[in-house]
């Protein structure tokens, strides 16, 4: 089993990252999740230094600020080499697109309300899409999850907690990967990263005479 540090931007990403780690059979030792994407960007050099001796799973949203995942990676790293023990992955365009990609799980949340997107990675605003679908659900489900201000839709105070529990209970990354290319690429890299991480740690122990 691989021990990792999970670094994410918010509570929802933490639930997704933890579920992916569980799918991979990894043990999450430390979770960094409360200071937002900007904080993670500021800490990227520190994370790279930590990744010299500890495996890190860093998960962030692409959002609308970048045209593609490589452009975000290039701007964040700024010429710094990506350490082998840093598993830096980007959700296109948000982890909500990965949630929408698991239609079977979404039906447990929404029932038959609304049409689910076939290719959620191409949505400009998957979070808004999910909130719109949740808005159509009965009051018991949507209360606290969806907020309306003068017709503008946004997440309610129970958004992260409600969806995090749903992720834990119903959402499956291997199923969602059929409709999300960015998630499929992540899953395809899991075993390679684990082998690299374990080899790196073994070599370090050998060098130290362990």
What is the structure's pLDDT at 208? 40
CA distance 20 to 187: 8
11 and 88 in a common domain: yes
For residue 137, what is the DSSP state?
S
What is the structure's pLDDT at 210? 47
What is the structure's pLDDT at 70? 94
36 and 12 in a common domain: yes
In terms of residue numbers, what domain contains 78?
Answer: 3-94+180-207
- Count other C-beta atoms under 10 Å from residue 69's C-beta: 18
85 and 103 in a common domain: no
CB under 8 Å to 41, separation ≥6 — which residues? 76
CA distance 35 to 40: 8
3-state secondary structure (DSSP) of residue 87: strand
20 and 118 in a common domain: no
40 and 19 in a common domain: yes
42 and 139 in a common domain: no
89 and 188 in a common domain: yes
The total of structural domains in the chain comes to 2
Residue 54 has φ and ψ, to the nearest 5°, of: -135, 140
What is the structure's pLDDT at 167? 98
193 and 121 in a common domain: no
86 and 58 in a common domain: yes
Q: What is the CATH number of the domain that holds 81?
A: 3.40.50
CA distance 54 to 85: 7
For the chain (210 residues), the mean pLDDT of every run of 10, in chain order, is 96 97 98 90 96 96 93 93 96 98 95 88 96 81 83 91 97 98 98 92 50
115 and 88 in a common domain: no
59 and 137 in a common domain: no
CA 198 to chain centre: 23
25 and 85 in a common domain: yes
Token reading at 194? 């684990």
CA 164 to chain centre: 12
CA distance 4 to 46: 16
């Amino acid at each position: 089993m691989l021990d990792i540090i999970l670094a994410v931007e918010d509570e929802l990403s933490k639930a997704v990252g933890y579920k992916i780690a569980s799918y991979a059979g990894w043990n999450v030792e430390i979770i960094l999740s409360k200071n937002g994407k900007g904080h993670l960007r500021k800490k990227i050099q520190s994370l790279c230094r930590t990744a010299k001796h500890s495996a890190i799973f860093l998960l962030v949203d692409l959002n609308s600020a970048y045209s593609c995942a490589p452009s975000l990676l290039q701007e964040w790293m700024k010429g710094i080499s990506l350490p082998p023990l840093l598993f830096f992955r980007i959700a296109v365009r948000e982890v909500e697109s990965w949630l929408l990609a698991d239609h079977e799980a979404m039906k447990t949340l929404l029932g038959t309300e609304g049409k689910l997107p076939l290719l959620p990675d191409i949505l400009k605003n998957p979070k808004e899409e999910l909130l719109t679908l949740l808005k159509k659900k009965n009051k018991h489900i949507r209360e606290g999850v969806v907020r309306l201000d003068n017709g503008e839709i946004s997440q309610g105070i129970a958004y992260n907690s409600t969806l995090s529990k749903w992720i834990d209970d119903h959402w499956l990354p291997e199923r969602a990967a059929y409709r999300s290319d960015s998630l499929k690429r992540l899953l395809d890299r899991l075993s390679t990263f684990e082998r690299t991480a374990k080899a790196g740690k073994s070599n370090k122990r050998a060098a130290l005479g362990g």
